[in-house]
Chain A
Amino acid sequence: MEMVNIKINGTPLSVPNGISILEAARYAGIEIPTLCYLKDINEIGACRICVVEVKGARSLVTACVYPVNEGMEVFTNTEKVRKSRRHTLELVLSNHRKECLSCVRSGNCELQKLCKDYGVADADYFKGAMPAFTFDDSAAHMIRDNSKCVLCRRCVAACNEQGLGIIGANARGFDTQISCAFEKNLADVSCVSCGQCIVHCPTGALKEKDDTDKVIAAINDPEKFVVVQTAPSIRVTLGECFGNPVGTNVEGKMVAALRRLGFDKVFDTDFAADLTILEESNELLERITKGGTLPMITSCSPGWIKYCEYYYPDQLDHLSTCKSPQQMFGATVKTWYAKKMGIENIVVVSIMPCTAKKFEVGRDDQNAAGVADVDIALTTRELGRLIDGAGIRFNDLEDEKFDELLGESTGAAVIFGTTGGVMEAALRTAVEKLTGETLAALEFTDVRGLEGVKEASYEVAGLTVKVAIASGLKNAKIIMDKVRAGEADYQFIEIMCCPGGCINGGGQPVQPAVEHNFGNLAAKRAAALYAQDEAMPLRKSHDSPAVKAAYEEFFGEPGSHTAHEVLHTSYVARPMYK
């Protein structure tokens, strides 16, 4: 790599030629502030927050897109630079609805932090006209409030990165707004509810639909028995809401906090993840032996399912008919568990890394007991707010354990939260089933890692099992185009909607752009899941005592009539526009 010598604030540095000033400054331990920049996906130099002085340059330059060259001298914090940034912020605020006291992003708003850092004392310095801003609460999962939009286009980049491109900048000049084609509502276009736009928004313009009040009301209703389930990935992300470093596993404290919130039972979606593996591997083996549609594709990720229904309605037969773990959990609670315990009037709340789960709870054919399998789906962020609002000192809590039975699970379930995890869990069970022998090594390292598309092939009991894994819908498209063309010779495919899987889900704690750009966010969160898997005594789904009990007492065998009634579902082709 060719290196160049530059100076940043007088410090001599040798950095790779051609990298941006923004990246070069990191070598000097300096974080140049940004508002619109997202590494690789939104390098547009539009917001003018990252401006710096370059010796010899006629004007300030945008550090995020300006490449370094030999002998360059950069100044990142001069009075001229600071004044320019302050001025830009004042202009941004001129038509910003400043609801900062109660805004959902107060405290982790990137605009707010910049205003504090640059001493923007008068937020109304350039008080101006307010355009008629779009407010769109049509979707099941989120709200777009353009009165808090700074037009950074990070949401647009995130949506494009998913290969969807359903939002964009429309009109021009002062009228510019981020919206959908023909100003349609989000609910009327092919939005898959992934929420990647939300986790990339620097302000409170995009947020999940808050369902915390419904949860509090259910808990306070003495007639109701309120059960909570927690998705695999949220135990390694919830801690971020309370200042813990990315990748901290807070499972014990999470359970303790949920108990203090007043849930009657604190259970784990991981139980249902194990159950999913038994149902799904059985379905796969049946398809292989009885000549069903192959490759079979996982159905855990509701964003992916919705994507398939919009973009590949002719390929729905490839989807496993298994409900997602969230829904399997709710269905099992409201059938088997309710009967076994003699409890009525159960409310199932789920804590999910995902905004599409809010859509999923309202889907058709997800009501095994005649009522919705899951009543309320909260994101990790909403749980964080619920805990804060209840005055629970999260970091001071002693670790506690999940409640018995539906709180029991295996390491195979925990890794559902990351790309390749469902595949690895399925392989652990399928290989033992096919060979009838105990696996010597449980790690299937070929299917691990954050690459968008992964392939692997295994020789099992004389059978070649070829699998593929995709995360992020742009990558799902690569696989699905092969499937549609009949060129996919895999038996089993795992697809997760969000890049990196649920650990990077649209319902996860929002981290500032710098964490997305340079922080290895997904890798740190995934590592925490694999560490938990490794530390668990049981690491194969079919060893789960709770799952065994469920089959013995209620379902019979995987794929039984009862299992089909309770744990499986159907899909519908959806029109792209309404």
Chain B
Amino acid sequence: MGEDSPAIVLLGFGAEGWGRALIAGAGLTLMVALAAMAIGTVLGAMLTAAQASRWRGLARLATVYGLVLRGVPELLVVLLLYFGAPGLLAWVAALFGLPSPGSPPAFLTGSLAIGLVSAAYQAEVFRGGLIAVPSGQIEAAMAAGMGPVKRFRRIIAPQVLHRVLPPLGNIWQFNLKDSALVSITGLAELMRTSLVAAGSTRRPFLFFVAAMVLYLVLTSASSALFRMLERRGQRWAGPA
């Protein structure tokens, strides 16, 4: 099927076209990357806090986490979660005397895997940003009676956010591209969809080019967005 159809029909939105599926795949890719980024930000901030913690063991654990997750291929992490999650879930369920719940949704394991790696990189970025705030300012804020939330909102965030934005933009780009690895779990994101389309129409070149174009749209649109945010950030930060 489709072997003789012209490219425009195959990529179109008609009955034989894969256009709708590819766009939906791109949307799912975006969702995976967003979820991974969010997981990475939360976990990364926790790692940064842990590294600055008074408990040596906790700080060391956070450092080791960063070293390992930045030194191991992302594909390995995705595979580990994909193959390992059902067993882990069954084990946890058995602890509570429940039957095995089967495999968790591919979206969850996929974005968790990318997010775990993202966290290691984001923690480095946050650490670098925090160094930019002199400890005297934190002490002064404490002396003025500010709580941790107020301290973060008034003293740390305004000085750190515009500094961490460019490296976070880089990490976002990597998340977007790493989300293609989730395709091995069978989640129908852009990479998987293009593979399926290539397989069923026997036109791999066409569909891989289409997927490349869609990835380029995603990456260049988000880099434009980050550039805009950076300009805003500079304005908030005032003259350097």
Q: Determine if chain A interacts with chain B.
A: no
B residues neighboring A (CB under 8 Å) = none
